[in-house]
């Protein structure tokens, strides 16, 4: 979903996307679930749904836990937390039959609970509530984010309690350090718990919190009939593993899997992430897997096997703010449409008409976006280009000319310099056509390609294209955008005037993947298109908030793809910056 900045927008104007205040991890467990199976216990699975525009959409689902009425799900749900938005969530628990998609009529509904990210409360369904719905909310002062842990009853259809079934949701805000760790475990000579075959071991890792409660971090797959299993490597966030605290205690438990849910305890050991890090490189770390009962009863007891950490890799995930604080500059280029369809600038009906009392739409869009970008560019110099006009001295059509008429240096001093160059160039040019933007995209892309060769996160390019109509060279433009998606570059297109911009939506990849005429997809979604008329009655910052909302994500995506770290990253616990909040 799009993210942006929190700010007031006048009534009747389009609402700019809200800022993601933070991300929240949700852990789910249930107790006393209904037993729908005749021979075995229920095989529960949890579906997480979120309400969007009045419709419930599935966001994610947990694993299926076999034959267990008190499941603790290993799946961690991650949701964006918006402070200013009521985000309705629904948790639905099903007894999975395995032969169909979970949640179909073939599965038994074990109960549901509806809540919001900010508030959790429930009451019985009112009469006439549609089948399949779960309890609506009454405002109780219980907050997922504030309370951290909320337990609520599960309801069946029409507000009927699902017996004594309860669901517990534990929430945790993801801190600024959003790195993750990749772990690879194996075990040797585990105790054999099976009579006619060998044990079927799996490993669980628990984080021990300050209140001594344990949170399940990860559950490995089961390795069948093997006393020296090698489990598949897995990744977990540092936040989930140890709350980003190296010395936080971890409890690791090895079980022998039982299809009826009665897993046999093999042994356990305690460790910390600090100790685990000794396994980096060629080193390995191992622990005795201990069964406390055996240790007390058996005089010569040594262990119930050994667990070995074969490898550990730490992956740092950088944020937009990391790159900005590391010295990455945002270079801003504006490209202005000077085609004849804008109308004669001397005529008051022209989109380029200079009214001494009221800036035209081109100037409004330019100033709104440029004033934000200039805070991220140390020299405050902007490249300003024009296209679609006949220019002096030969009055030939150009699609990438400098509006200051200096071919060797198209930069202007700040936004005011761009405004002055725009106003002074209008009397000197003849508006013409067609509306070709591929040349300007390619021109900025060549500069970005030179920057890419430095192999540093030093400069990222934003191209703002202001146009009054659908581009004429659509095929070449799509090709240029696909090429640019591999470079440190984003493109913002603002449609000025009242033209039908329907065909321009194809360039904005929100509804699908943009492809070149040959079918090659973009590497990243780098284009944002917005008709200016939707913001005519909004505050000056509303347009900037909307069109710049995706830029921080695009910056991070590019440098992550190239594996370029910030030039001088700084440790901090602050949330990511947003382009529309340069402070």
293 to 190, 227, 251, 265, 301: CA distances (angstroms):
16, 20, 17, 11, 10
pLDDT of residue 11: 35
Q: Please write the tens of the pLDDT for every residue from 256-271.
A: 999 888 899 999 999 9
- The full DSSP string for 163-189 is EEEEEEEEEEE--S---EEEEEEEEES
CATH code for residues 22-120+141-174: 2.60.40.150
- The pair phi, psi for residue 214, each rounded to 5°, is -115, 135
In Å, how far are 20, 44, 198, 525, 576 from 80, measured between CA atoms? 6, 26, 44, 20, 13
Return the percent helix, strand and coil in the chain, to nearest 5: 20, 30, 45
CA distances to 194, 199, 252, 255, 294 from 265, rounded to whole Å, are 12, 11, 12, 5, 11
pLDDT digits (tens, 9 = 90+) for 23-49: 788 999 999 999 877 778 889 999 999
Q: Which CATH class is domain 332-438+460-514+528-538?
A: alpha beta
180-315 maps to CATH 3.30.70.1140: no
Q: Please give the backbone phi and psi of residue 541, each rounded to the nearest 5 degrees, phi first.
A: -85, -15
Q: Is the pTM of this model over 0.85?
A: no
CATH 3.40.50.410 domain position(s) in the chain: 332-438+460-514+528-538
Q: Tell me, what's the pLDDT at 384? A: 96
How far is CA 93 from each of CA 34, 113, 120, 135, 219, rounded to the nearest angstrom?
10, 9, 17, 14, 20
Chain region(s) in the chain for CATH 2.60.40.150: 22-120+141-174, 180-315
> What are residue 72's DSSP bridge partners?
29
**Structure confidence at residue 197 (pLDDT):** 85
Spans of the chain, pLDDT less than 50: 1-20, 119-143, 145-147, 569-583
Q: How far is CA 120 from CA 77, 114, 456, 528, in A?
A: 16, 8, 46, 36
């Amino acid at each position: 979903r799009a993210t942006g900045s929190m700010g007031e927008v006048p009534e009747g104007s389009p609402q700019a996307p809200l800022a993601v205040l933070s991300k929240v991890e949700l852990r789910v467990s249930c107790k006393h679930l209904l037993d729908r199976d005749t021979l075995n216990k229920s095989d529960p699975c949890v579906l997480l749904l979120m309400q969007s525009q009045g419709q419930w959409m599935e966001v994610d689902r947990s694993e299926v836990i076999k034959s267990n009425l008190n499941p603790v799900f290993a799946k961690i749900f991650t949701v964006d937390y918006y402070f200013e938005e009521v985000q309705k969530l629904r948790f639905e628990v099903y007894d999975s039959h395995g032969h169909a998609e979970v949640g179909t009529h073939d599965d038994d509904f074990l109960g549901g609970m509806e809540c919001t990210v900010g508030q959790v409360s429930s009451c019985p369904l009112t009469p006439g509530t549609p089948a399949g719905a779960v309890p609506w909310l009454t405002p109780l002062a219980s907050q997922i984010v504030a309370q951290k842990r909320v337990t609520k009853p599960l309801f069946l259809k029409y507000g009927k309690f699902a017996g004594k079934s309860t669901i517990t949701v534990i929430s945790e805000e993801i801190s600024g350090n959003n790195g993750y760790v990749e772990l690879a475990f194996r075990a040797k000579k585990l105790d054999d718990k099976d009579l006619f075959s060998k044990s079927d071991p799996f490993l669980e890792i628990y984080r021990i919190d300050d209140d001594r409660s344990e949170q399940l971090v990860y559950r490995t797959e089961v390795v069948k009939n093997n006393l020296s299993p090698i489990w598949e490597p897995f990744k977990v966030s540092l936040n989930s593993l140890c709350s980003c605290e190296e010395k936080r205690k971890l409890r690791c438990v090895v079980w022998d899997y039982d299809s009826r849910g009665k897993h046999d305890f093999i042994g356990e050991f305690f460790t910390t992430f600090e100790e685990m890090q000794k396994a980096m490189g060629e080193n390995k770390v191992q622990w005795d897997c201990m069964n406390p009962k055996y240790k007390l009863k058996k005089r010569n007891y040594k262990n119930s096997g050994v667990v070995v950490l074969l490898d550990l890799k730490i992956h740092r995930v950088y944020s937009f703010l990391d790159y900005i604080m590391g010295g990455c500059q945002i270079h801003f280029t504006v490209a202005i449409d000077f085609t004849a369809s804008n109308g004669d600038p001397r005529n008051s009906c022209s989109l380029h008409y200079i009214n001494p009392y009221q800036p035209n739409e081109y100037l409004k869009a330019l100033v709104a976006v440029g004033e934000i970008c200039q805070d991220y560019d140390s020299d405050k110099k902007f490249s300003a280009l024009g296209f679609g006009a006949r220019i002096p001295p030969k009055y030939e059509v150009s699609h990438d000319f400098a509006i200051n008429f200096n071919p060797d240096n198209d930069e202007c001093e700040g936004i005011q310099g761009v405004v002055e160059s725009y106003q002074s160039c209008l009397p000197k040019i003849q508006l013409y056509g067609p509306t070709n933007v591929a040349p300007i995209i390619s021109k900025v892309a060549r500069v970005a390609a030179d920057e890419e060769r430095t192999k540093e996160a030093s400069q990222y390019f934003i191209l703002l294209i202001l146009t009054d109509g659908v581009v004429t060279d659509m095929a070449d433009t799509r090709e240029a955008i696909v090429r640019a998606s591999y470079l440190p570059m984003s493109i913002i297109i603002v449609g000025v005037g009242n033209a039908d911009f329907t065909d321009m939506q194809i360039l904005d990849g929100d509804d699908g993947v943009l492809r070149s005429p040959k079918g090659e997809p973009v590497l990243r979604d780098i284009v944002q298109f917005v008709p200016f008329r939707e913001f005519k009655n909004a505050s000056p910052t509303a347009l900037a908030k909307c069109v710049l909302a995706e830029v921080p994500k695009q910056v991070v995506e590019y440098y992550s793809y190239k594996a370029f770290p910030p030039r001088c990253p700084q440790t901090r616990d602050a949330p990511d910056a947003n382009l529309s909040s340069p402070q």
